Chain A
């Protein structure tokens, strides 16, 4: 469904992603695991084609066709979307307006209510503004609800649990199951092992590269043994034996 071929991204003379290749197939949940600063969010942003992340080398294909020349909204039209690690806030827009994209989507009250239930919010949130009056966790849940309502073919969830209390990992699981059952491919960006276990397959990133891929158990085990206590973060060549 999505293929990344030899992606290199250099910003301000810093290599952010280097010769990175990966494949994300239909109807699967993938974890992209790695410490902070290894390039996981940059991976999300180049797939989404954000303004400062379009000047990469290599090719991104969606269903076999290059999307390198496509704008962010054009990629979204194809069915790719992004759930942000720290979602933007909007003065004056209610949750209802935000979820309905100002009328672009016309989800019924029942549908909105049901979607909010999945992310653990009541329908009272529909009339609340998505501004600074919401906590980071509340805003994050609304972002997940938005991803569900869009019914995307591919969704990249960037640290979906950040800002949400530890007790709510079952909510994240509920969201992932819902997306998976709806036929959505999920790319789950995380640095937490317990979140990675919700995926079918995993990639491990370090220094802008994929350094391991395969079964979640193996990747998490490698991450736990080698990355948690790593003293040379972002220098993958100094790491242990890689299984790639």
Chain B
């Protein structure tokens, strides 16, 4: 339910939410958990049985708690929409998620800052997944084309035995501005995680990514993957890190940075640390132009180099 005084604001946010790939019609459904934030206000919210939702206003933003009860399977994705329509300001969003034993929930989070010229958004998400719980989190950002948006997106997740956590961050449709993405996951016994960041940088965008897997439980496994298409004068630094701390833990980190433009500055640092002789960690990285064979295959079908690159990148960032 949207409060009447926020009708106009909601319409604008919904418009950009749809542009970012979301479906704003879902916000108004009673069977879908949703939270809509505009600036420092919650302008709409809904929850369903088994999901306890609490929201509080804090200085410059919102703090929310989502508790999913044991054994609850939330059928429809929880929709989180964070918008800020003014060109200047600061917004902080703190999210605490507790997924009870054997519960299952997915999140579709869209952050839209279409007018930001001197705007900072900071989001910290802390998730606890109890035994056998599953969380899938998809975070899609839509920033202004001005490049004046600064974003910090920090995700921390603690997984107990047999829990599963997937987190995917996407910013591929608009300018990035200045951004830091940090994902850290602690995995317990036989827990598994798949974390991924996909970003398309333009102009003088700047990006720092840290993805970290702490494989603390026996038989735990995880994949951390970053894909960035850096163009023009953009800058990107990526650290993919994994700790193999337990027997039979397995981790894989992967970084693909595709570069186009002479002003681009890109770097990647893979870090693997093993503290147990039965742990197994691998990494894979590529940095530079688009894979020549992929490129020439499409050029041999009549695409120019530019068209072929766009198609390849479109697939990679999908």
Give CA–CA (A102, B294) in the complex, Å: 14
A118 close to chain B: CB less than 8 A: no
Report A-chain residues with C-beta under 8 Å of the C-beta of B296.
48, 50-51, 72
1/0 per residue A194-216: CB within 8 Å of B?
A: 00000000000000000000000
A104/B315 in contact, CB under 8 A: no
Known: A73-B299, A73-B300, A90-B294. 18 other contacts (CB 8 A): A50-B300, A72-B296, A72-B299, A73-B302, A73-B303, A84-B293, A87-B297, A88-B297, A89-B294, A92-B314, A92-B315, A93-B312, A93-B315, A101-B301, A102-B303, A102-B307, A104-B303, A146-B301
A51/B292 in contact, CB under 8 A: yes
Give CA–CA (A90, B303) in the complex, Å: 15
Interface size class of B (residues with CB under 8 A): 20 to 34
In chain B, what residue has the closest Cβ to A147? B301
In chain B, what residue has the closest Cβ to A44? B300
Q: How far is the CB of A94 from chain B (nearest CB, A)?
A: 9
Q: How far is the CB of A69 from chain B (nearest CB, A)?
A: 16
1/0 per residue B278-304: CB within 8 Å of A?
A: 000000000000011110111111111
Instruction: Name the segment of A75-83, A163-171, A174-182 touching the other chain.
Output: A75-83
B56 close to chain A: CB less than 8 A: no
Give CA–CA (A89, B292) in the complex, Å: 12
Partner of A91, one of B292, B307, B316: B316
Report B-chain residues with C-beta under 8 Å of the C-beta of A89.
294
B75 close to chain A: CB less than 8 A: no
B314/A101 in contact, CB under 8 A: no
B294/A76 in contact, CB under 8 A: no
Report B-chain residues with C-beta under 8 Å of the C-beta of A51.
292, 296
B64 close to chain A: CB less than 8 A: no
B297/A93 in contact, CB under 8 A: no
Report how many residues on chain A are interfacial, defined by Cβ distance under 8 Å: 26
Q: How far is the CB of A122 from chain B (nearest CB, A)?
A: 22
Most-contacted residue by chain A among B294, B315, B316 (CB, 10 A): B315
A88/B303 in contact, CB under 8 A: no
Report A-chain residues with C-beta under 8 Å of the C-beta of B5.
none
Contact A88-B300, Cβ < 8 Å, known A97-B315, A102-B311: no
A101/B300 in contact, CB under 8 A: no
Give CA–CA (A91, B198) in the complex, Å: 13
Q: How far is the CB of B313 from chain A (nearest CB, A)?
A: 9
Report A-chain residues with C-beta under 8 Å of the C-beta of B311.
93, 97, 101-102
A150 close to chain B: CB less than 8 A: yes
8 sample A-B contacts, Cβ–Cβ < 8 Å, listed by A number: A48-B300, A72-B296, A76-B303, A81-B302, A84-B297, A92-B317, A102-B303, A104-B302
Give CA–CA (A90, B290) in the complex, Å: 11
B316/A82 in contact, CB under 8 A: no
Give CA–CA (A107, B291) in the complex, Å: 27
Give CA–CA (A207, B128) in the complex, Å: 65
A71 close to chain B: CB less than 8 A: yes
Report A-chain residues with C-beta under 8 Å of the C-beta of B293.
84, 88
Report B-chain residues with C-beta under 8 Å of the C-beta of A102.
303, 307, 310-311, 314
Closest 6 CB pairs of A and B: A92-B315, A93-B315, A92-B318, A102-B311, A76-B302, A72-B299
Report A-chain residues with C-beta under 8 Å of the C-beta of B308.
73
B305 close to chain A: CB less than 8 A: yes
Give CA–CA (A102, B307) in the complex, Å: 9
Report B-chain residues with C-beta under 8 Å of the C-beta of A92.
314-318
